[in-house]
Homo-oligomer: A and B are copies of this chain.
Amino acid sequence: MEKRKFILDEKDMPTSWYNILPDLPEPLPDVLHPATGKPVTPQDLEPLFARELIMQEFAPQRFIEIPEELQEIYRVWRPTPLFRAHRLEKALDTPAKIFYKFEDVSPAGSHKPNSAIAQAYYNHKEGIKRLTTETGAGQWGSALSMACMFFNIELKVYMVAVSFHQKPYRRVMMETWGATCVPSPSPDTKSGRDALAADPNSPGSLGLAISEAVEDAVSRDDTHYSLGSVLNHVILHQTVIGQEAKKQFEMADCYPDIVVGCVGGGTNFGGLAVPFVKDKLNGSHPDTQIIAVEPESCPSLTKGLYAYDYGDVAGLTPLLKMFTLGSHFMPPPVHAGGLRYHGMSPLVTHLLKLGLIEARSVPQIATFEAGIQFARTEGYISAPETNHAIRAGIDEAIKCRESGEAKTILIGHSGHGHVDMASYDAYLSGKLVDYSYPDDKVKEALHQLPKV
């Protein structure tokens, strides 16, 4: 019998996060202050973030120890399994070996808690009693709700109004873990009140929700803000995924030729990928193909501009050098809510510029075809975001069938789809549509970029 599961013992869980910054052949471009255009200092960020997280954002050391108190919480669900997809391989009639790293087993159902508990922990250590955040589809909001509960921190989540009403289960999860979740725009902030005055039925947007969460955080001394994606320290925390996967491939006595993950803000992909990028850089595995997969309708990596841009619509955040579709770009309503973001993590952007990873975009319907094929072979129902990675993984396995190559493929299985069944319903009833992104649309963004 061939093994299906590669399970690490708790004692083999990584005890440090891997920081790729010192290993990069070229340093990341500076982050700029939105008012001055000068590089931001750690002090500039202190009203929003815990000092330890700011240090991690710019850290020079290769490994950062995971505090024991935090490891204890990781052990609630980590190490996560690595599965061999024998049944999918057989259905595809491919010589490829397909593996998937399964983050679904966290209580919140995705990779998001890997950073959420770290952010809650460091804020707790600094005496912060309250956090604010925004959430779109609700994965990040629910993960941070659980994390704040573990550290007895009050949390207020500003959830994009249209999702708040469409996805009540995510809101109830947040409340089950003790958080408060309000639809954004809300009457609780000036940004929210202004938006409601302009349109009492505003559906909201992630950019607006960020504005509300930031405004709330800076208005109170006991409160910080928390961001679940994009930033270096978030990818840092997510490196437990890739580090574990590498140990599990040692158990399986092989190494991936191809690593695929889905990208929205880029931190699930980043956390899976950078431990493998490390092996490319140190020459031990120089030829690994590492593929970031994004929606065709929101193609920041494949069609975006490489430029300084804001992280939010209102232009409150520091300026980040990244692939961007413009901070005013409103992504179409694809079901992979976690991938609906105009920009891309500066670190993932940089890895692409350096040729260490590649990028690919896929249309929505094809991702659900892949998700259904996965569910009907491997059993598990995947998140719409995760289906992007599965699509690319299946495509690579089909190429292997055609070429006869027995490549080893690793899919980042970032989360389950249990509370996204409405999207499967839309697919199965033929109501799902594809949204294109016209080639020349990015020109609009060009005119809206901030001057630096």
Please give the residue numbers on chain A whose beta carbons come within 8 Å of chain B beta carbons, in ascending order: 1, 3-5, 7, 9-11, 72, 75-77, 87, 105-109, 146, 149-150, 168-169, 172-173, 175-178, 372, 375-376, 378-381, 416, 418-419, 421-422, 424-425, 428
Contact = CB atoms under 8 A, between A and B. Distances in A.
A419 B418 CA distance: 7
B177 A376 contact: yes
A168 B168 CA distance: 14
B10 A173 contact: no
A381 B176 contact: yes
Contacts of A178: 376
Contacts of A72: 1
Nearest to A7: B7
29 contacts: A1-B11, A1-B72, A5-B10, A5-B75, A7-B7, A76-B87, A76-B379, A105-B105, A106-B379, A107-B375, A107-B378, A107-B379, A108-B379, A109-B418, A149-B376, A168-B422, A168-B425, A169-B418, A169-B421, A172-B422, A173-B421, A175-B425, A176-B376, A176-B381, A177-B375, A177-B376, A416-B418, A418-B418, A419-B419
A35 B372 CA distance: 45
Given A77-B379, A175-B425, 18 more contacts: A1-B11, A1-B72, A76-B379, A105-B105, A107-B375, A146-B379, A168-B421, A172-B428, A173-B424, A175-B428, A176-B372, A176-B381, A176-B424, A177-B375, A177-B376, A416-B418, A418-B418, A419-B419
Nearest to A416: B418
Given A4-B10, A418-B418, A421-B419, A378 B172 contact: no
Nearest to A6: B10
Contacts of A381: 107, 173, 176
A150 to B, nearest CB: 8
Nearest to A71: B1
Contacts of A150: 379
B378 A76 contact: yes
Contacts of A376: 149, 176-178
A4 B9 CA distance: 10
Nearest to A146: B379
A106 B378 CA distance: 11
Contact of A75 (B4, B77, B107, B176): B4
A376 B5 CA distance: 29
A173 B425 CA distance: 9
A305 to B, nearest CB: 38
A382 to B, nearest CB: 10
A253 to B, nearest CB: 16
A108 to B, nearest CB: 8
Contacts of A375: 107, 176-177
A75 B2 CA distance: 11
A104 to B, nearest CB: 9
Contacts of A1: 10-11, 72
Contacts of A176: 372, 375-376, 381, 421, 424, 428
10 residue pairs, one from A and one from B, having the closest CB atoms: A107-B379, A418-B418, A169-B421, A172-B421, A172-B425, A107-B380, A4-B75, A176-B424, A175-B428, A172-B424
